[in-house]
A and B are shown apart, each in its own frame.
Chain A
Amino acid sequence: MSQQMEFDSKEYLRNFEDLKSIIRHAKIDQKSCTEIAQALYFKEYEDLLSTSVAASDYKLLELNDDLMKEIEAGNILTFKGGLNDKVCLCTRNKTYEIKNAEQSNSLVIVPDLLLAEKTSTSPLKSPVSGEINKSLDKSLENEDEEGSQESNFTIQEILHKPILRVFYNYLEAREIKPNVKKIQEILQLTLYNGPENEHLIEKKHLFTRRQLFETSQCSAAEFDEQLINIRAIKIDGFLRLLDLGYEFRVVTFMTNLINENSWQLNEVDKEITLNAVEGIIPLEIASAIFDYYAVEVSATGKYSYSEEMVCKIIAQNVLQEGLKFHLDEFMETCQGGLPEGMRMNETYLYGIGVIDKDSAMPSISGLFEENLPMNLLDRLKRLFQTKDRWTMPEISPYLKVFTTPKLGISALLAKHTRSLTDGGIRYYVSKH
């Protein structure tokens, strides 16, 4: 920034004579002042007119520690969101909601203004127990003899400082949980259900990765995380989700190879698997699904499938939304679809199905998180209609979407449900 503004010769420049005069009239003891006085000026006449374009080009953005660090390090922040969404501000890994905060005070921004210690040749005195005004009052009252000050005027220098602008508002930034649901909703429009069904897809609804990212109200890290959560796959240049039934067929096809090849669960061979499905499943899909479901066993270079993910996709396929099964029969059916050695576990079913062990015949009914209302109260109503009392792990997957950095699952439950303890287990029941 410019150190000194340039002045037209015809414009007024603060001088010692006028400064002395005003100090005398203000009855300030000038001996109590530091050596440098700073005179403030408007930079441009246009800045006085709040309607001018130049003025609105400047904004004040509130920063928390995280934003301050990102900005100082030179990292790029991004305003983003869809055409009809609220604007949010993203760092590489966090998302902030932006609001305009009106102020009744004037916020005057002055570039390179000197703070007190830089204007004093001697160290500043420490205030007497913070009672600044008293000391000032005293100095004011004690000062009556005019004329005598002229001789020992302590102010040595007047610096001329143009102000940048006066603000009456600023942009307030509050960290929020990003709206990643939209990613899933958009991709749901074009579920991939095998090459033979591709002609049914509305091509105009397809999104490239970049297009989807730009319209999503979240940071790059949060975007990537969500793509992994929903297992998005790049097919022919566009991001897609697989139809559950299709995904189920792909996964069973792959896991069946375990028995066929008499592999141990941690001896899955990626190359053999991908070769075996060639011609049946397009390679980009097979390889993406393999990467989502399997992790490399570092010692051997072989892979093993995630038991939880395999169990989930099988359970989801058996357990259609709204259907009710005898629990035993359901577990048996699922077990039949699993490769040898994998076991279906009730905890894998949270967020997919609701288990009811209280009735005479234990049962499970399908309830998929993604199909529930996006309004918290409606969703809770729906949940408690399905089942009277829930444990925390059972209900968490259904409420996770409503949590924020400041409001976790337990806070949500505390606010909207009642809890009771029965046989040492804590349950959550409806408030009404």
Chain B
Amino acid sequence: MPAIIIKNPTPNKLDEYVMLEIQGDLELRSDKMISDGRFIGDLLYNKYGNPILIVGHHILFGKEKKLDNNGFAVIKKVSIADDEDEKKRRFDETIINETVANASISVLDSTINVENRTKPQVEYQVLAVIKKKLVFNQRPRPIISNLPKSN
């Protein structure tokens, strides 16, 4: 299959994103979502640099860590237009192949044919790399309160 490429449009000055690793799912009560819009929660750090995440009625304590596998890239699929040179080149090659073609079609033939003719319409772009994460790997503590919410 013609190759699909991953390309970094900004060499040597990629953004660096941060990953929060949270046990389980990020659950939001649906009514809360409606009332609060897109708000998820608060991220604070204590003076020792340890992250504290408050989501809904849960508080999570975490740690900053370097990723043990060296990192991640965040890639995004984008459509690409067929440029003219490429079209022509493929057309020429198809002609070479077809002028000599005859009737018998084996599995290999059809595979190769498909491979020759399909041109990927997409590519991946690198948005950023991730080298550090905040890990929240302990059970969340509930926030217990009898006080009515102040707003």
Contact = CB atoms under 8 A, between A and B. Distances in A.
A265 interface: no
Interface string A4-19: 0000001111100111
Contacts of B54: 22-23, 26
A32 interface: yes
B6 A77 contact: yes
A21 interface: yes
A254 to B, nearest CB: 30
A204 B101 contact: yes
Given A34-B46, A61-B75, A116-B51, A109 B115 contact: no
Interface string B113-149: 0111000000010111110100000100001110101
A407 interface: no
Nearest to A110: B18
Given A40-B41, A74-B12, A124-B49, A112 B70 contact: no
Contacts of A126: 48
Contacts of A79: 3-6
A71 B73 CA distance: 8
A132 B48 contact: yes
Interface in A147-175: 155, 161-164, 166, 170
A106 B26 contact: yes
A316 to B, nearest CB: 27
A74 B8 CA distance: 5
A98 to B, nearest CB: 11
Given A115-B64, A208-B93, A25 B129 contact: no
Given A28-B59, A78-B3, A105 B24 contact: yes
Chain A's interface: helix, strand, loop or mixed, by majority?
Answer: mixed
Contacts of B59: 26, 28
B128 A111 contact: yes
A43 B127 CA distance: 16
Interface string B10-25: 1110110111111111
Contacts of A43: 38
Contact of A127 (B14, B38, B48, B145): B48
A307 interface: no
Contacts of B38: 11-12, 41-43, 45, 162
Contacts of A139: 46
Interface string A56-90: 11111111110110011111111111111000010
Given A74-B11, A116-B51, A61 B72 contact: yes
B42 A22 contact: yes
A237 interface: yes
B73 A33 contact: no
Q: Which of the listed residues B12, B72, B93 has the most CB atoms from chain A within 10 Å of its own CB?
A: B72
Contact of B43 (A25, A28, A40): A40
Contacts of B70: 63-65, 68
Contacts of A166: 26
B8 A237 contact: no
A214 B64 contact: no
Contacts of A117: 49
Contacts of B104: 202, 204
B14 A18 contact: no
A161 B36 CA distance: 15
B129 A71 contact: yes
B9 to A, nearest CB: 8
B74 A40 contact: no
Contacts of B138: 133
A17 B150 contact: yes
Contacts of A41: 37-40
Contact of B114 (A57, A83, A205, A206): A83
Contact of A11 (B25, B37, B51, B100): B37
B3 A34 contact: no
Contacts of B111: 82-84
A151 to B, nearest CB: 17
B107 to A, nearest CB: 9
Interface of A: 1, 10-14, 17-23, 25-28, 32-34, 37-43, 45, 48, 56-65, 67-68, 71-84, 89, 104-113, 115-117, 119-120, 122, 124-127, 132-133, 135-136, 139, 155, 161-164, 166, 170, 189, 202-208, 210-211, 214-215, 237
Given A22-B54, A40-B43, 11 more contacts: A1-B15, A10-B37, A23-B54, A72-B129, A77-B7, A78-B4, A120-B47, A124-B48, A189-B108, A205-B109, A214-B3
